[in-house]
Amino acid sequence: MSRRPVFSPARRHPALRATAAAVALSAALLTAGCGSSGDGADVPKAAASTAEGFPVTVDNCGVRTTYDKAPARVVTIHQHPAELMLSLGLKDRMVGTAFPDSAVLPELKEDYEAIPELSEKEPSFENVLEAEPDLVYGGYSSAFAENEGRSRKAFADAGIDTHLNREYCGEKEVTMEDTYAEIRTIGKIFGVSDRAEKLVSDLEGRVTEAAEAVEAEPEVPVFVYDSGDKAPFTAGGKSLGTELIALAGGRNVFADLDDVFGDASWEQVVERRPEVIAVYDYAGSGSVEQKKEFLLSQPALADVPAVKNERFVVLPLTATLVGIRSAYAVEDLARGLHPASFR
């Protein structure tokens, strides 16, 4: 991992070296008038009229937040929210990132590495407060884990707004429309809806081009291998991965699994005879080579067409989530499933 700037307590305001309670109070004072989790009734009307297009109210996973102006100091927890913000040209609003789980897109790498990294995993509540954010944007629900002291209520009590990637609201099947809606929502929060629309248009064009290139090709059965040895942990029918595979000219052989992710059995993998295996790549799950070696070494899988022909497509996990990478994943999958269509 490249060297990233880190926060040094000596460089922060003296008040931030006090107790956690004092930190919370300081954060609350800093964010006064910048939006609050609620109906925004406690914000002076004069403040609400200072920014064109505001106030903006967003309902997000059961939390209603009114922004009276665009957030100015944002901490992102997990990589895909950070990449989305950078793609909208919001680097100057970002004061900290946390939990990178794959290589950053090359075009975003320089900007991403210029932002202080708070933690290699989810940061502590106090660690986040030290960055003095007015908004914390989480990618997975674990960003706001109550048992680790990072609940959305805890941040609200400290005067800090929160936003959770819509994929983890737990309401329904996830589709590409959720990706586009998430981009538009972030654009609205930051007053850059024009940039959001342009980004959505660019990503829709990328998806359409890849899908049209393979639309006449026969459907390829695909098994998603996330991890697992005794039982395969795979993408179910409610996952975005299932739609990405379909757009790329394939069919998830575990689309009947009524969940985003879940355990299957190796016997089912053998019975469903996938022709391609999509290997999800992310930190902490074993390397791609280790996963391939495991699959190729299992006698029970020897006659599975994907294993027999060693047909694998590797996808960063971040590319299968609600974020800008999902459009790239459609193209990568399409090339892997139907290589002749791209020669």
State whether 60 and 146 are in the same domain: yes
Residue 194 lies in a domain: no
Residue 169 lies in a domain: no
State whether 42 and 143 are in the same domain: yes
State whether 137 and 255 are in the same domain: no
Selected residue with higher pLDDT from 51 and 109: 109
Q: Residue 261's domain spans which residues?
A: 214-342
Residue 185 lies in a domain: no
For the packed helices 325-337 and 240-247, what is the interaxial angle rounded to 10 degrees? 50
Residue 207 lies in a domain: no
* 146 Cβ neighbours under 8 A, 6+ residues apart: 154
What's the confidence (pLDDT) of residue 177?
95
State whether 160 and 82 are in the same domain: yes
Signed CA dihedral, 262, 252, 277, 301: sign only: positive
**Residue 139 pLDDT class (50, 70, 90 cuts):** very high
State whether 235 and 147 are in the same domain: no
Domain boundary among 164, 183, 201: 164
pLDDT of 279 over the 50 cut: yes
What's the confidence (pLDDT) of residue 282?
87
What's the confidence (pLDDT) of residue 283?
80
State whether 226 and 160 are in the same domain: no
Domain boundary among 125, 141, 164: 164
State whether 19 and 154 are in the same domain: yes
Residue 199 lies in a domain: no
State whether 154 and 231 are in the same domain: no
Radius of gyration of the chain (CA): 22
pLDDT of 71 over the 90 cut: yes
What's the confidence (pLDDT) of residue 53?
85
Over residues 12-26, the mean pLDDT reads 38
pLDDT of 46 over the 50 cut: no
Residue 170 lies in a domain: no
As a whole number of angstroms, the distance between CA 330 and CA 215 comes to 13
**Residue 24 pLDDT class (50, 70, 90 cuts):** very low
State whether 234 and 136 are in the same domain: no
Range in 12-26, 133-147, 163-177, 279-293 with the lowest mean pLDDT = 12-26
Give how many domains the chain has, as a whole number.
2
pLDDT of 89 over the 70 cut: yes
Domain boundary among 130, 146, 164: 164
As a whole number of angstroms, the distance between CA 337 and CA 334 comes to 5
State whether 256 and 148 are in the same domain: no
Residue 34 lies in a domain: yes
pLDDT of 250 over the 80 cut: yes
Instruction: Look over the chain and give the mean of its residue pLDDT values, rounded to a whole number.
Output: 87
What's the confidence (pLDDT) of residue 6?
42
Dihedral pair phi/psi, residue 76, rounded to 5°:
-105, 135
pLDDT of 22 over the 80 cut: no
Q: Over the stretch 186-200, which tens digit does the pLDDT of each residue have?
A: 999 999 999 999 999
pLDDT of 118 over the 80 cut: yes
Residue 181 lies in a domain: no
∠ CA 248-182-333, nearest 5°, is 15
State whether 156 and 218 are in the same domain: no
CATH number at residue 283: 3.40.50.1980
What's the confidence (pLDDT) of residue 121?
94
State whether 267 and 124 are in the same domain: no
Over residues 134-147, the mean pLDDT reads 96
pLDDT of 10 over the 70 cut: no
pLDDT of 16 over the 60 cut: no
What's the confidence (pLDDT) of residue 57?
97
